[in-house]
Chain A
Amino acid sequence: MNPLDRYESLVDDVDAFRAACDRPLPSVVRTNGIAASPSRVREAFEEEGVSYEPVDWHDGLFRLPDGNPGGNWPYVHGWTHGQEEVSVLPGLALDPQPGERVWDACAAPGSKTTQIADAMDDRGTVVANDNNLGRLSALRHNAERLGVTNAIVTNQDARNFSVKPLAFDAFDRALVDAPCSCEGTCRKNPDVLDQWTLDHVHGVAGIQKGILSRAVQATRPGGTVVYSTCTFAPEENEAVLDHVLANEACEVVEFDLPLVTDPGVTEWEDETYDEAVTRAKRIYPHRNDTGGFFCAKLRVDGGDADGNSPDEGVDETEVAT
């Protein structure tokens, strides 16, 4: 069975959805602002004769119709990183700021870690974790190639992540770009559809709930957690949010993304989910001619309306005495 069949009831235009899923995706690179500006990258591409097309919703992204994103000077200089367009979205939703403490719970191979470091102007601390030691070498390679100096790399099971090796005990923001069944990547890797099983969906959903729960716990009151996957499966998306809403002190909040999205779904097969999951965003391939994606933004309960931790004033008092 093609797993895409099961999502036909969720989309408005089944034919357009299926046709988009069958089309290959172009190579895309993201400008690494630590090393270069989008205009410098454009100049270098033009001088070298590399064909590129802009992406209308993000000035740092370029489509390379001839492929080979690593075979040019801007790549060698760490000015660009090959990254699928939709993969940029969770970093935009997370909106990390210079100087903050940020956790990337499932970080390898580092596309989002390096995007986070860039958004932080390479200042503050991004803790890039992955449980797979082999994939960590790709993460480290990418972070170094892009000149990231504010990352700590850890090798833990994110579900039981310990902050003990760190110099602080809570994050301002956390990204859970979770391992998933990946049907949304079928345009660049059609094999995911052949390898798909419902057992895997159910198994990985348990892992996703564990990681997202830990991310909420490890983030300070008022802080931000972003949850993303590249699957359409509600079991791995809205059901995970519903579980965490019921068990952790957090809420799903509204946010904006710069392309066309559909709201999270509240019903799937014989399940119903918390109404708040409609604030999550589904990205279907036919809407913006991209890969498929899911992204939700959560706020950890407590803190004030600006997201400040309730105990920050107390710390100052303690220092004064």
Chain B
Amino acid sequence: MSDNTDGEKRGDPANDGQRFDRLPETPADRVVEGRASRAEVLDWWQERFGIGTGVFEGYSFWEKGAGKIWIFNGEASDPSEVEAVGMTFLRTRQEHWKPTGRAASRFGAHATRNVIDLGPERAARFAAGEDQDLPEWDGDWGYLIATHEVAGEPVPIGVGLYLYDELRSVVPKGSRADLPVVE
């Protein structure tokens, strides 16, 4: 991997929406204003979902477009002018950071908090993109990882937004599915 970090050799410390830039290790290494650091990303997953930093050891994190963070497990040059580097992971540069549904699906099994387990009927409605009343949730508001049980084990479905007694499915339109209720 290139040792060029965060645009400092380019003399233009701005986010460039056309290319992937590797995240700086810590806030102290930050050159591009507003860019999240690797340490902050790891802390966020730890604090929000209890996913230990060890889970992401070996992965690198990249920004393309304002606040869109990608997770990657290979070798890439920095910056990278390609179509994709790994998979979309997290949306930063806004008050509440938002995990992608794909990140929840890929890594959500490691989560220990802010996980909401849905019964068969609720799980099917969630996957279909429906919002649903869920006043019985007494945990945090904000982004939750929704799971349901498949053959005896919980499996993440995606990301929901919990506000005012309601669980909003934020499954993207292209990923919504009409699925059977599996009792």
Contact = CB atoms under 8 A, between A and B. Distances in A.
B82 A152 contact: yes
Contact of B85 (A40, A46, A76, A152): A152
A123 B73 contact: yes
B54 interface: no
A119 interface: no
A12 interface: no
Contacts of B177: 70-71, 75-76
B106 A149 contact: yes
A194 interface: no
Interface size class of A (residues with CB under 8 A): 35 or more
A77 interface: yes
Nearest to A122: B73
Contacts of B77: 165-167
A140 B35 CA distance: 24
Given A167-B1, A167-B2, A153 B74 contact: no
A153 B2 contact: no
Contacts of A167: 1-2, 75-77
B182 A48 contact: yes
Interface residues of B, number: 36
Contacts, number: 109
B105 interface: yes
A155 B83 contact: yes
Interface in B72-108: 72-77, 80-88, 102, 105-106
A136 B71 CA distance: 19
Nearest to A168: B75
Given A44-B150, A151-B84, A166 B157 contact: no
Complex A-B, nearest 3 residue pairs according to Cβ-Cβ distance, in ascending order = A125-B74, A153-B84, A43-B151
19 contacts: A47-B151, A47-B182, A72-B179, A75-B177, A76-B127, A77-B157, A78-B105, A122-B73, A143-B84, A144-B87, A145-B175, A147-B106, A149-B59, A149-B71, A149-B106, A150-B73, A152-B84, A166-B75, A167-B76
